[in-house]
Amino acid sequence: MRKAWIIVAALAVAAPAMAADSIGLVKVSKGNVSIQRGSEKLPAGVGASLQASDTIVTGADGSAGITFTDNSLVSVGPNSVFSIDKYSFDSTTHQGEFAGNLKQGRLAAVSGKMVKQSPESMTIRTPSAIMGVRGTEFVVQVEK
Amino acid sequence: MKALALLAAAALVAACANQPKQVAPELFAVVPAPDGHIGTIVVRPASGGETVIHTAYGAERIKSDGSIEQARMSEGEIKQAFAETLAALPGKPTSFTLYFLPDKDELTPESKVELEKMLAELKSRPLPDIVVIGHTDTVGSLSYNDKLSLARAERVREMIISLGIPAERIQAAGRGKRELLVPTDDNVSEPRNRRVEIDVR
């Protein structure tokens, strides 16, 4: 019983550090671009850091480009809503998972090291489909 | 009277079933890489089935009535529809490889030149970040080489920090013997595999 409590305490300490792990960086940001993180809306200028579960939102004049830790590149065009439902990457084994979700708008992407290691470890969900990425460059559009 | 109401309800249900639900139109397409490489995507609509697309500008559309159509788009059509999106795509990471003099902490003369090139590449990018990746040859166990490769990467990371690059922009990783430059059997000493790769992105 005491052991279980210790584990819970250890997890509680580890969780904030893990949640703060950067999974990618905004390298291009034009017009109105923000990051929705839980209930917070943060500006997404060049240099902003992304975390798993973040959502990128662009306005009518907005576009953004992101590099992820596995070297995946993703950009979104105007009027887009793109969330990163899951992201993990092991830089030693190259195992990982990238589950993106394009709710609306346009996305272009170049897959990175995890897809090279395990095809379809990157997926893009849309309102009507799931796309598996075997590599490398592709575009997706969800109209309003 | 009750039977009539039931009948009407049944007719209404049937009408609903025949009327396809309106969905947001979607498009998925493969874009050739600048080097000509053509990738592969697999589209699995919620309505079932799957399409494997692996041709240049090969595409699948989900139309507003939910129907699915395979298409081949032109380069011009994609570049027009995705103009702002493609313009925002960050540049591809560039990779540099460094080698050390045998049993020394010092880079080979060629690698010193390579390091200069890396610094030039850093300056050409808007907000560069760097991953230093250590690699080993196949002498020793997997876990031993994972640690050794990370130690080498950390050493090069310190070196780059001493050149004035902010520490928080540089990550270190060890790939051990998982990514050989020159394929060998296990337990083979091969200097070309003992290297450090630097990805600038």
CA distances from B88 to A25, A36, A76, B172 (A): 13, 19, 7, 27
Task: Please give, rounded to a whole number of angstroms, the shortest distance from the CA of B5 to a CA of chain A.
Answer: 35
Mean pLDDT of chain B: 89
CB contact (8 A) between residue A142 and residue B24:
yes
Q: Check residue A2 and give its pLDDT.
A: 52
- Name which of A109, A131, A139 is nearest B78 (Cβ-Cβ): A139
pTM over cut 0.95:
no
Query: Domain coordinates of chain A in residue numbers?
Result: 22-142
**What pLDDT is recorded for position B20?**
58
- List Cβ neighbours of B127 (8 Å cut-off, separation of 6 or more): A25, A27, A46, A47
Under the banding of pLDDT at 50, 70 and 90, the label for residue B126 is confident
- Whether A13 has a pLDDT exceeding 70, the answer reads no
pLDDT band at B35; cut points 50, 70, 90: confident
> Is pLDDT at B16 greater than 80 in this prediction?
no
Using DSSP, state whether B81 is helix, strand or coil. helix
In angstroms, the Cα distances linking B93 to A48, A106, B125, B128, B157 are 18, 23, 10, 10, 17
CB contact under 8 A, B146 and A104: no
- The Cα B50–Cα B141 span in angstroms is 42
Handedness of CA B45, B51, B55, B60 (dihedral sign): negative
Do residues B31 and A137 make contact, with C-beta atoms less than 8 angstroms apart? yes
What count of residues does chain A have? 144
CATH class of B94-200: alpha beta
pLDDT of B57-105, one tens digit each? Answer: 999 999 999 999 999 999 999 999 999 999 999 999 999 999 987 766 7
Of B5 and A72, the structure prediction assigns the larger pLDDT to A72
Please judge whether A134 and B40 are an interchain contact, meaning their C-beta atoms are less than 8 angstroms apart: yes
Average pLDDT over residues A20-45: 94
pLDDT at A20 over 60: no
* Contact residues, A window 82-141, toward B, CB-based 8 Å cutoff: 91-94, 104, 106-111, 119-120, 126-141
Residue A38 sits at φ, ψ, to 5 deg, of: 60, -125
Average pLDDT over residues B30-49: 94
Q: How confident is the model at residue A11 (pLDDT cuts 50, 70, 90)?
A: very low
Domain boundaries A22-142, corresponding CATH code: 2.60.120
CA–CA distance, A36 with A19 (Å, rounded to integer): 15
Q: Note whether A138 contacts B90, CB cutoff 8 Å.
A: no
* pLDDT at position A119 over 80: yes
Q: Sorting pLDDT into bands at 50, 70 and 90, what band is B125?
A: confident
Nearest CA in chain A to B66: A128
Contact between B31 and A133 using a beta-carbon 8 Å cutoff: no
- The DSSP line for B20-80 is PPP---EEEEE---TTS---EEEEEETTS--EEE-STTEEEEE-TTS-EEEEE--HHHHHH
Per-residue model confidence (pLDDT) at position B9: 58
Q: What distances in angstroms separate CA B34 from CA A103, A117, B11, B84, one per listed residue?
A: 28, 21, 56, 18
Segment 140-179 of chain B within 8 Å of chain A by CB: 146, 150, 171, 173-176, 178
The residues facing B99 across adjacent strands are: B195
State whether residue B24 sits within 8 Å of chain A by CB: yes
Cβ separation B85–A108 shorter than 8 A: yes
SS3 state at B170: strand
Which of A104, A108, A120 lies closest to B86 in CB terms? Answer: A108
Going from N- to C-terminal start, the domains of chain B cover 22-87, 94-200
The three-class DSSP label of residue B96 is: strand
Q: pLDDT tens across A62-106, in order?
A: 999 999 999 999 999 999 999 999 999 999 999 999 999 999 999
A85-89, A123-127, B168-172: least confident range:
B168-172
Task: Verify whether the Cβ–Cβ distance A71 to B127 is below 8 Å.
Answer: no
CB B163 within 8 A of CB B63: no
- Per-position DSSP letters for A101-118, written without gaps between them: EEEEEEEEEE--HHHHHS
Indicate the burial class of A4 (C-beta count within 10 angstroms; 0-12, 13-18, 19 or more): exposed
Q: What percent of chain B has pLDDT over 90?
A: 73
Q: Give pLDDT, residue A10.
A: 45
Query: Is the pLDDT score of B171 beyond 70?
Result: yes
Quick one: what percent of chain A has pLDDT higher than 70? 86
Nearest to A71 among B93, B146, B176 (CB): B93
The token duo for B134 is 């250590």
